[in-house]
Structure 1
Amino acid sequence: MMKIDISQVKQEVGDRRSFRFVTSAPELGLAEGEFGWDGGDIIVEGEVANNGQFLEVTGSIKAKVRCECNRCLKSFTMAMEIPFTERYFTPGFLPDEDAASYEGNEIDVTGLLRENLLLAEPLKPLCSESCRGLCPVCGTDLNETECFCEKGSVDPRLAVLQQLLKKE
């Protein structure tokens, strides 16, 4: 569990304290297939500030994830830096029932970190913006070699649609 000590911060409006954690995906409760963690450290740095009505936790998560390129299907490691912000209210002053709250002298940010890591994982990761992918005909990796397949051919079932484009 990743807990921030707020015993001093909650005493004085305007007070700020920084924090830093070094953790891993299993410590955050992330299963093996849930997140492409590369096995290295996940570094969390941030600050908790008392604004009078709530405690605001801001910071960033730095992690390296293993991905498979959406175009060429090769595995690669990508460095991610994920910013996060959350407001924590005392239980008696919750603005709505979905707001985060704290009790005592600690805030548990494990769920916040896990959620931000999962939401930041790219939907279509690319090994590089210039990745040319695989040939749709023969499957050759176009980043490594050029193939000479005819790519202009159209699926016969869609040929009628091509006729419509020619009319315009």
Structure 2
Amino acid sequence: MMKIDISQVKQEAGGRRSFYFVTSAPELGLPEEEFGWDGGDIIVEGEVANNGQFLEIRGSIKAKARYDCNRCLKPFTMAMEIPFTEKYFTPGFLPDEDAASYEGNEIDITDLLRENLLLAEPLKPLCSESCRGLCPVCGADLNEKDCSCEKGSVDPRLAVLQQLFKKE
């Protein structure tokens, strides 16, 4: 659990306290097999500030993740830096039901970190933006060599649609 001591910060408006944690995916409840976390350290650093009405936590998460490229299927490692921010209110002053609250002298940010890591997962991870992928005909890696396959063939069921483009 990643807990921040707020006993001093909550006493005075304008109070600030920085924090730094080193954790891992399993400690945050993220199974490494399902996600790309490489088993290395996840570094969390930031600051909690009292603005008078709420405590605001700002920071960043630094982690490395392993993925298979969505185009060429090769494994690669991606360094990620994920910013996060959250406002915490005392239970009596919640502006709405979804607002985060705190009681006592600590705020547990484990769920906040887990949520931000999950939201940062790429939908289609790419080893690079310029990755050319695999040839759909022969399967050659187009990043390594060009192939001589005919790529202009059209599905015969869609060939009629080509006539629409020729008329224009």
Q: Provide the TM-score with structure 2 as the length reference.
A: 0.98
Q: CA RMSD in A?
A: 0.8
Any gaps of 5 or more consecutive residues in structure 1?
A: none
Query: Match for residue 76 of structure 1?
Result: 76
- Runs of 4 or more consecutive aligned structure 1 residues displaced over 2 Å after TM superposition: 32-35
1:80 and 1:90 mapped to 2: Cα distance?
32
Any gaps of 5 or more consecutive residues in structure 2?
A: none
Tell me how far 1:49 sits from its aligned partner: 0.1
Query: Match for residue 9 of structure 1?
Result: 9
Query: Match for residue 140 of structure 2?
Result: 140
Tell me how far 1:67 sits from its aligned partner: 1.0
1:35 and 1:58 mapped to 2: Cα distance?
25
Query: Match for residue 62 of structure 1?
Result: 62
Letter matched to residue 48 of structure 1: V
2:52 and 2:15 mapped to 1: Cα distance?
10
Kept in 1: contact 2:32–2:38 (CA 8 A) = no
1:98 and 1:46 mapped to 2: Cα distance?
23
1:34 and 1:47 mapped to 2: Cα distance?
30
Tell me how far 1:167 sits from its aligned partner: 1.2
Tell me how far 1:166 sits from its aligned partner: 1.0
Letter matched to residue 117 of structure 1: L
Letter matched to residue 68 of structure 1: D
Would you say 1:40 and 2:14 are equivalent positions?
Answer: no
Kept in 1: contact 2:133–2:142 (CA 8 A) = yes
Query: Match for residue 119 of structure 1?
Result: 119
Kept in 1: contact 2:46–2:59 (CA 8 A) = yes
Q: Which moved more, 1:30-39 or 1:119-128?
A: 30-39
1:62 and 1:79 mapped to 2: Cα distance?
7
Query: May I ask how many residue pairs the two structures share in their alignment?
Result: 168
